[in-house]
Amino acid sequence: MSTSSPWRIPDFRALFTATALSHLATNTGYVAVPLIAVTELDASAGQVGALAALSTLAFLLIGLPAGAWVDRMRQHRVLVAADAARALLFASVPVAWALDVLTLGQLYAVVLLNGCATVFFDVSSQSFLPQLVDREGLVPANAAMITLQAAGNVAGRGAGGWFVQLLAAPAALVGTGLLYLGSALRLTSIRRSPRPKPESRPPRLAAQIGEGLRHVLGNAELRALALTASLSNFGTQIVNTLLPLLFTRELGLPPGALGLYWATGGVGLLLGARCAHPIARRLGHGRTLGLAGACMAPIALTIPLIGGGPWIWLSGAGWLLVSFKTGMDNVLGVSLRQRLTPDPLLGRMNATFRFLLTGSLAIASAVAGIIGELLGLSTAVWVGGGVLALAFLPVFLSPVRTRRELPAQVFVPLAADRDPARAESAGESIP
């Protein structure tokens, strides 16, 4: 094993284990919460859409400034606090259910506050990891985390469906709360907890956010990657929001079937992530992103064919292949955007992408609820499939499609680098 292997570092192993427990908790909750709304509280399509929108609304509300806030705090403590908060929030649901006082209002509050905690956990985790491993170990460490996320989608959503089927949906959230608690306890074993560097003057938050937005939206390749990923998220979320209603009410299928369907998407993500670099080496990095989308995007139109008998298998196969493409896009798109961004802007670039990509989930959830309420579930799922089929176009029509290799790490002088006075006010150091 190489001396640069992150697995030699006890703190990385602790972070990896805690993240695994956190992903399992997130994905079991992903299945259980909407099923609680549908089966226990008789929620309509509009109410299910509102529930899904609230679960990601925090990324729109605090996604951009969260990165700057986390930079001023100890990320290790933020991670522990976020997991502890999520454990308490989800534990409140089965307690309220047992006391026969559970309402949709409580579910709305739980998913909104859970989203806020998740914003801080995700941003802190991405910022904390480079402090635990050396430069040579960062790539394998990130690869392990990406693979873990895909595996969590398979195991967590599959387990979530079966837990709900074996137990009542609110009781399944006991496991979700315990997994978050286990993650928080595992994180307390990490010894390294660097203090943020003291600053004589706090940086201007608006200036920092604006520079990140200009970097992403002003670069043709980054803009295309953001648009394609946002459209993919939009279409996927429309489908995902309404699947619990579709499976339980229209198809009459058990929760385990829904968990299995979602787990199939996780398998696709995992396979796509593993195959991304081998395919890119043969076809070229940008060509894989552009042409794979053109070839595989129309498969998304098989997803709305979901129904009884063989149709559910055809839809599941389409879901698997669309998720495979998403897994490839995740690996190759993240690698490209990191290479197109100078080190001083990496945090703000990632925060901008997270704001756009996760914000699209919140908007799509609301749209899904409105369309499902007014025009029916089938129409809404067709809208989601249509958006997925067209999501490849921004990248396909951009310079990304012609890029054979990843660029060398670029250096783009920041405004603060050109103006020493502004450098001090913006909190940037001058090389």
> Structural domains in the chain?
1-192 (1.20.1250.20), 203-431 (1.20.1250.20)
Q: What is the mean pLDDT of residues 57-79?
A: 79
Residue 414, pLDDT > 70, answer: no
Greater model confidence, 159 or 213: 213
Greater model confidence, 165 or 21: 21
pLDDT at 104: 93
Q: Tell me the pLDDT of the chain averaged across its residues.
A: 81
- CA torsion angle 188 190 192 195 (round to 10): -20
> Does residue 103 come out as left (phi exceeding 0), alpha (psi in the -120 to 50 range) or beta?
beta
Nearest to 388 by CA among 234, 283, 259: 234
**Residues 385-408, buried b or exposed e (16+ Cβ, 10 A)?**
bebbbbbbbbbbebebbebeeeee
Give the pLDDT band (50/70/90) at residue 424.
very low
Could you tell me the two tokens for 380? Answer: 């809404």
pLDDT exceeding 90 applies to what percent of the chain? 24
Give the pLDDT band (50/70/90) at residue 83.
very high
Could you tell me the two tokens for 386? Answer: 């249509």
Q: How far apart (Å, rounded) are the C-alpha atoms in residues 297 and 320?
A: 12
Provide the residue type at 192 as one letter: R
Q: What is the mean pLDDT of residues 3-13?
A: 77
Going from the C-alpha of 401 to that of each of 11, 251, 287, 293, 406, the distances in angstroms are 39, 40, 5, 10, 12
CA atoms within 13 Å, Cβ hemisphere of 63: 23
Q: What is the mean pLDDT of residues 356-367?
A: 87
8 Å CB contact between 205 and 65: yes
- 3-state secondary structure (DSSP) of residue 74: coil
Query: φ, ψ for residue 335 (rounded to 5)?
Result: -60, -40
Residue 76, pLDDT > 90, answer: no
Q: Which of 114-128, 234-248, 372-386, 416-430 has the lowest mean pLDDT?
A: 416-430
Could you tell me the two tokens for 163? Answer: 């837990």
Q: How far apart (Å, rounded) are the C-alpha atoms in residues 253 and 265?
A: 18
3-state helix, strand, coil in the chain (%, to 5): 80, 0, 20
Give the pLDDT band (50/70/90) at residue 351.
confident
pLDDT at 292: 79
Greater model confidence, 425 or 305: 305
Q: What is the mean pLDDT of residues 64-82?
A: 80
Q: How far apart (Å, rounded) are the C-alpha atoms in residues 330 and 322?
A: 12
Q: What is the mean pLDDT of residues 186-215?
A: 73
Burial class of 54 by CB neighbour count within 10 A (0 to 12, 13 to 18, 19+): buried
Could you tell me the two tokens for 120? Answer: 């801080």
Q: Which of 268-277, 374-383, 386-395 has the lowest mean pLDDT?
A: 268-277
Which range of 108-117, 205-214, 243-252, 256-265 scores highest in mean pLDDT? It is: 108-117
pLDDT at 385: 93
Length of the chain: 431
Claim: this prediction has a pTM higher than 0.75: no
Which range of 227-241, 302-316, 413-427 scores highest in mean pLDDT? It is: 227-241
Could you tell me the two tokens for 256? Answer: 């385990």
Residue 67, pLDDT > 60, answer: yes
pLDDT at 420: 31
pLDDT at 112: 94
Q: Which of 74-78, 290-294, 347-351 has the lowest mean pLDDT?
A: 347-351
Could you tell me how far CA 356 lies from the centroid of its own chain? Answer: 11
Q: What is the mean pLDDT of residues 406-425?
A: 43
Residue 98, pLDDT > 80, answer: yes
